[in-house]
Structure 1
Amino acid sequence: MKIPTFEKIKTNDIALPELTTQLKSSTKNPLYTDLRGLSYAAVSSTIQNIRNAFIELEKDPNIPYPFYVITDFDIPHCPFLTIDTIEKLPEYFIQKQIRVKNKELSLLNKSSILAQKISNINIDQLKAKAIPIVKKQRKLFEKSKENTFYEELIELNERR
């Protein structure tokens, strides 16, 4: 496995098949696309096409690395991380290619195995399973908070 560095997705052709092809070939690295200089309508349609391409590939845009969109506009309900300049991309993934040492190579091999396991997980199923559990935990928290409140009231009442 190579060290993860940013790859730019070219959106000159905003057609869905072209985007799907580009995303399919480069989903192992952190990705970004630069939409500065486009009109608001073009940016929103491109983001919609990118979202549809991720859905078609059955990939989550945040796993294993988030997908960044560089744009001049604030897009409401955008499923991707939006920033306004390339300089705001995480510096961790902006690396010069250097020769990897043996110890680093073994760590990269381990991480590639973990990345393969992550990419085999169906994220939508996990989210569907997690939502009811999270709701139950929130309900339990609210009830326990209420219970604690009542216990404190009883203690105050007993002190009097």
Structure 2
Amino acid sequence: MKNRIRRLGSNGGRSRASDGARPRTLRMVSAGLILREAEGRREVLICQRKADQPMALKWEFPGGKIEPGESAEQALRRELNEELGITAEIGEPVAQVRHNYRNGGAVDLQFFAVRRFEGEIDNRIFQEVRWSEFESLPGYDFLAADIGLVRDLAEGRIALEGGR
């Protein structure tokens, strides 16, 4: 299992750990880093999968599959409404991660900053949702595809200002 992380925007374009193999299947996914400032702390919303879902009880950032004809931003807006009941303003792209699974499948994740949204967060599909400070993220059992980004956020390699 190898990840390739590419930071986007003003944060650079460094790649990491790529084996160059072509996966059999590639799923395109869009995910949101929903940000807030709380009592002077930067926090991001994280979500835990339910016990009956694939990769049970793993933590992730909200989002989902990009459907045919959708842009990554459109898919994320739709997914955040379906999963959390919010209407999000999708911000700048933050990172793109390609993760190859041992079974030959792969996921291409595009992460976007979300600083503003309308509505109250309503957990519609997850075991749990919570706000976490960036520095605390490595303490959660994240999906393998998210681990490099989690580490970069926790270590301050990707600078994001809070929102809402």
Q: TM-score range by the shorter chain?
A: under 0.3
Q: Structure 2-normalised TM-score?
A: 0.21
Q: Which has the higher strand share?
A: 2
Larger Rg: 1
Q: Structure 1-normalised TM-score?
A: 0.21
Q: Which has the higher helix share?
A: 1
